[in-house]
Every structure is written in C-alpha cells, then in structure tokens.
Amino acid sequence: MNSRPLVVTIGECMLELVRRDDGLLRPGYAGDTFNTAVYLKRGAPKAQVAFASAIGGDDLSDGLARAAADEALRTDLLWRHPTRTIGLYLVHTDSHGERSFTYYRDRSAARDCFTAAYPRHIDDAIASADLAYLSGITLSTLTADARTRLLNALRRTRDSHGHIAFDLNYRPRGWDNPAAARNAVASFLPWVTIALTSAEDELALWGDTVDETIDRYRRTGAEEVVVKHGPGDTVLATADQVRRFPVRRVGQPLDTTGAGDSFNGAYLAARLNGEPPDKAVHTAARCAAEVIMVPGAIVPRHHTATA
C-alpha cells in the first residue's frame, strides 16, 4: 500500500439535533460512514480520507463541509445538490435514559447520490481508492439504479486491487421489507474484502449465528471478518483462523451511539498503519470504549486516544 493511501467512505451525513435537559436543541453532524471516516482519519493521519456524499448549497450544508474539513477529511467528493439539502434527525432521551430518533431525510440530497446528475469524477475516485467503505445504510438510501452504478465503481476498485470494507448496519426502517434488504446487500457481498459487522444486525437480517455470518462472508470472498457484539466477545475470522476477543468492561456506557462506527474507523486505520488484524481489534475496542463514555457519536478531539 502506498504511504498516503486513498480511503473513500460513501454514505449520508445529517444534521443531528440533540434535545438538552433545558429543552434547547444542540446541533452536530453525524451519519455512520461519516463517523467512521472521522475515526479513520484520526487513527491514520497520513491517509487521505474522503467522504463521498451529497449536500446542498445552504448554511447547514456549509456547516457539514466545515465539520468534515475540521477533521481533515477531503471534501471534494461532496456534491452540491442544486435543489435539495441535507437530512436531519432529532435525538430524544426519555426519563429512563432511553434514546429515540426521528428522521427527516426522505428527500435529502444524499438520496440522489449516483443518479444521473451525480458527478462521474466521484465514481472514478472510488475506483482508484486503496480502500472504499460503505454500509447497509448507504445501500438503503440509494435507488436500485444508483446501487448498480455504485457497484460498478466498486468493481473497478477491486480490479485495481483496492479493498472494500462493509458494515451491514441493518436498519429495518430504511427498507421496504427484509427481502429487499437481503437482495440489495447480497449483490454487494462478492466485492467485500473486509466485513466489519455486528451479530445483532446479522441475526436480524439473515437469522444467522455468528458462525454462519462468518461462513457467509468467507464464501463470498471476504479475507477478514470482524463480528462485534456490544459488550459480548468480538470474533475475528481471517483466512486461517477464528478467534474470540473478550471486551474489556468499562462500566455503564453513557451513550453507545457511534460505537460500531468508531470501532470500524479505528480498525481500518490500524490495518492501514500496518497492525495485524488481532492487534487492530484491540485498537478498535479501545477507541469504541471511549466513544460509549461520552454523549454523541463523535468524541471531541482532545478526548480521543487515537487522535
């Protein structure tokens, strides 16, 4: 791998509004593949990390582009949609500390990624990446034709020996029905080389045990499979072995939002830095353990051990 590898993460970032105790809304920017890009860049500062998505021409979109630039992400793969803007979601916390989310994203700019107006240079950047990263959420936001176009770009990534990392991140509300999700995901699996998934999501979509999850990703060609399971053991499968890693207890988590995304970013950064997969699991778990002890998906920079 070259000394300044190109990583492209693909997906949607939204305005996040968190209701505070005093009733006011605290704004931020978050989205699974964006969060992963942030932690990846923090963990592997030499890598060029670009976030491929779509935003609008308004202030909120400018804020998102600034948030990405503040994290030293490349913003040249953020297409400015001529008429739409970014999606948003509200985070409510009830009196028992349970969080719920309300989304306003059905007509977000990102829904038009990889449609006719979306610039072709973004496909070319993905095709030339050393590592492309996407999730099941990315796929759920795209039309069938857009998914086909993205798949073609990823085929080219693989043709030039780039890696493709994938987290299932199955969110039923993003899909018409589970069969639609299974079909869409299945068409991408043959191109995935690094699967970073969660036992809960695989069970929800495929009814899999962890062993079945590993077999399925291996059968379609993944070289590394990491199955996260919250505070339960993390399982790593490489070509020749399957190993379980207990998760170190860190006390009662404050907010697990972004735990999996940060794990993925730190894992991929560690791999780019030359760490072997088993060491990368430890690095990733350390990062995720910090994320669950602060509110929100993105830990302020001065908190982060991997920064």
User: Interface residues with ligand ADP (CB under 6 A)?
Assistant: 198, 200, 228-231, 234, 247, 250, 253, 256, 259-260, 263, 285, 288-289, 292
Cβ partners under 8 Å of residue 12, min gap 6: 31, 33, 34, 53, 87, 105, 108, 110, 113, 137, 138, 141
What one-character DSSP code corresponds to residue 190?
G
Place of tokens 């006390």: 251
Question: Residue 29 or residue 263: which is nearer to ligand ADP going by CB?
Answer: 263
* Residue 247: CB minimum distance to ligand ADP, A: 5
* Residue 260: CB minimum distance to ligand ADP, A: 2
- Return the residue nearest ligand ADP (CB atom): 260
Question: Residue 56 or residue 277: which is nearer to ligand ADP going by CB?
Answer: 277
62 is an active site residue? no
- Cβ distance 119 to 79 under 8 Å? yes
- Cβ distance 254 to 217 under 8 Å? no
Crossing angle (nearest 10°) for helices 120-127 and 144-159: 40
Closest-CA residue to 72 (of 106, 37, 105): 37
Question: Residue 151 or residue 307: which is nearer to ligand ADP going by CB?
Answer: 307
Please tell me which residue in 21, 22, 261, 278 is annotated as part of the active site. Answer: 261
Question: Residue 32 or residue 123: which is nearer to ligand ADP going by CB?
Answer: 32
- Cβ distance 122 to 145 under 8 Å? no
Count other Cβ atoms within 10 Å, centred on residue 61.
Answer: 21
Residues with a known catalytic role: 261
